[in-house]
A and B are shown apart, each in its own frame.
Chain A
Amino acid sequence: MGNDLSDLILRAQRGEKEAFGEIYNLFIKRIFRFVYFSVRDQALAQDLTQNTFLRAWRSIGQFSTKRGSFQAFLFTIARNLIIDHHRKKKELSLEKIGEFQTFENFEEDMTRQDEKRIVWQALAKLEERDKQLVVLRYFEELTFSEIGKILGKREGAVRVRVHRVLKKLKSHLGG
């Protein structure tokens, strides 16, 4: 996939929309859930996801693997759009984000599974940036280096931060 992706990126950089379409299909679900996890609104998440790819297309010429992976490039754009959105909508409080009420697809399952629900609730108590850290590291399985690129921090600093977040989670879980 690595070589395929590199090839697609090169073609997209040359202006081939179809190649970019393939990249889009590869990443759309991941970007969408990352965005949705932060904004908890289907329509808004769709808009932000589309905007992520639109921006990616416009700046794909400047992308270089020397500066990080392509997925880090996409997640960085998505994260910036989320930050912009939160700035515009200050009323979206962290407590509200922490509740599962707007999780349309799996809310019912969650309430039935107590152990998972407790972990989700502990995760919900974290600050937005820490939640994103957990998502990127454990759900999207990005490397520390990639997360560093997205957050604009050094790899070592990300490791330390993740360690602290895990500690926080543990304490929220009473462990």
Chain B
Amino acid sequence: MDIEEKIKKIKKDYILIRPREGFLAQAWFDLKEELDAKPKPVFMFRPVLARGLVFSSILALVLGGAFFSVAWAAQRAIPGDRLYPIKRISENLIFKISGNEESLIDRRGQEVIDLYKGKKDSDLLEKAISDYEKAVLEAQEEVEEKGERQGFRQILEKQEAKFKEIIENNPSSKDNLEKAIEASKKGRVENDQVQGVREEDQRGKGRGMEKEKERENSPGPNPGRR
């Protein structure tokens, strides 16, 4: 037997599906009453979704608030403190996104100084100095890419002066802090070089434009051969 015929055979069973008599008798009257009622306003979110949204918004607010509070409290932390990792995470969010990496030099430098003042162990100090060097290097790369950054040189000079002051007060710190001073100097020199190269480039471009104009006005290559 053909499949379509088989389906048509079971159609009789399908036709047997019908609402209960009680419903049929009453349904139209019930519906008729509803026809005049204004449709319920359509909410943008279904109740379940809306509840979920409210709950997740509150949760996000609470978590966000908690994170910002802890991050705020962590800003004074120095290497070795419990909150120090939070300080670093929040810095990554704030300074790297905003492109204000020079501030990181200031912060790392201050940490080195605070560790000296707090007489923390030498491992932490070494790590802090290494972080300072890294911060200088990263800011320097930024300078190479985007040109001289306002305050970059001044920050390095300021840090250098602070390190020298500590060495004067505490000559035993000289060995360690020399590295930090060296990093600052290197950063300044690189910055000046980048600036010099850029200025030269600018002047070179000016000369290049004049040459281009001369070439445009000339009759062409090897005019004597014509």
Q: Which residues of A contact B (CB under 8 A)?
A: 17, 20-21, 24-25, 28-29, 32-33, 36-37, 42, 45-46, 49-50, 53-54, 57-58, 103, 105-106, 109-110, 115-116, 119-120, 123, 134-135, 138-139, 166, 169-170, 173, 175
In the complex, what residues of A have CB within 8 A of residue B16's CB?
A: 105-106
**Contact A110 to B13, CB < 8 A, known contacts A28-B27, A173-B6:** yes
Residues of B contacting A: mostly: helix
Interface-forming stretch among B32-40, B55-63, B104-112, B131-139?
A: B32-40
- The answer to whether B9 and A105 have CB atoms under 8 Å apart is no
- The answer to whether A135 and B19 have CB atoms under 8 Å apart is no
Q: How far is the CA of A134 from the CA of B4 in the complex (A)?
A: 10
- The answer to whether B35 and A20 have CB atoms under 8 Å apart is yes
**Cβ of B43 < 8 Å from any Cβ of A?**
no
1/0 contact string of B1-29 vs chain A (CB within 8 Å): 00110111111011111111001100110
- The answer to whether A49 and B19 have CB atoms under 8 Å apart is yes
In the complex, what residues of B have CB within 8 A of residue A28's CB?
A: 19, 24, 27-28
- The answer to whether A33 and B13 have CB atoms under 8 Å apart is no
Q: Which residue of A has the minimal Cβ distance to B29?
A: A21
- The answer to whether B18 and A139 have CB atoms under 8 Å apart is no
**Contact A24 to B19, CB < 8 A, known contacts A54-B34, A116-B9, A135-B14:** no
Count the A-B residue pairs with Cβ separation under 8 angstroms: how many? Answer: 82
A84 to nearest B CB, angstroms? 10
Q: Which of A29, A110, A138 contacts B4 (CB 8 A)?
A: A138
Q: How far is the CA of A115 from the CA of B18 in the complex (A)?
A: 23
- The answer to whether B23 and A46 have CB atoms under 8 Å apart is yes
- The answer to whether A166 and B3 have CB atoms under 8 Å apart is yes
Q: How far is the CA of A73 from the CA of B34 in the complex (A)?
A: 20
Interface size of B in residues (CB-CB distance below 8 Å): 26
Q: Which residue of B has the minimal Cβ distance to A137?
A: B7
**Cβ of B123 < 8 Å from any Cβ of A?**
no
A45 to nearest B CB, angstroms? 7
B85 to nearest A CB, angstroms? 42
**Contact A24 to B10, CB < 8 A, known contacts A106-B16, A166-B3:** no
Q: How far is the CA of A157 from the CA of B124 in the complex (A)?
A: 72
Q: How far is the CA of A163 from the CA of B118 in the complex (A)?
A: 83
In the complex, what residues of B have CB within 8 A of residue A123's CB?
A: 7, 10
> 10 pairs across A/B with beta carbons < 8 Å?
A33-B14, A33-B17, A37-B17, A46-B27, A54-B35, A57-B35, A105-B16, A139-B14, A139-B15, A173-B3
